[in-house]
Amino acid sequence: MKALLLSVYMSIWFAIGTIPHASAANLANGAKLFNANCSACHMGGNNVIISSKTLKKEALEKYGMASLDAITTQVTNGKNAMPSFRSRLNDVQIDDIANYVINQSQQGW
């Protein structure tokens, strides 16, 4: 049931194109942090290591990454070729990056 509700929420969220708790300042900071820490591998929402696993809406949905929690976990802990950013970024910075990625995916990068 919880998974169904999350799926419905995410569908509505992507359809209306709003992020529940991201302010313009969060997104601006997320953009700055993304450019400094993520863009070498993810410029324009792409992925230079695994080309199919982009940060674009369709790929995020396909690979179960279309949520703030999933992106936050990935940035915090890393996975496969992606390193952990836990020692480089604090929780607020990681949250700002996650919000920025979701926002950009909704906008089509």
CATH number where 85 lies: 1.10.760.10
What's the number of domains the chain is made of? 1
Banded pLDDT at 16 (limits 50, 70, 90): very low
* 71 and 102 Cβ atoms separated by less than 8 Å: yes
What is the rounded average pLDDT of the residues 13-26? 64
> How many residues belong to the chain?
109
How many other CB atoms sit within 10 Å of the CB of residue 9?
A: 12
8 A C-beta contact, residue 86 and residue 76:
yes
* Domain that includes residue 69, residue range: 2-107
Task: Yes or no: say if 108 and 81 are a contact pair by the CB < 8 Å rule.
Answer: no
Q: Residue 22 has what pLDDT?
A: 81
pLDDT at 17 over 70: no
pTM of the model: 0.80
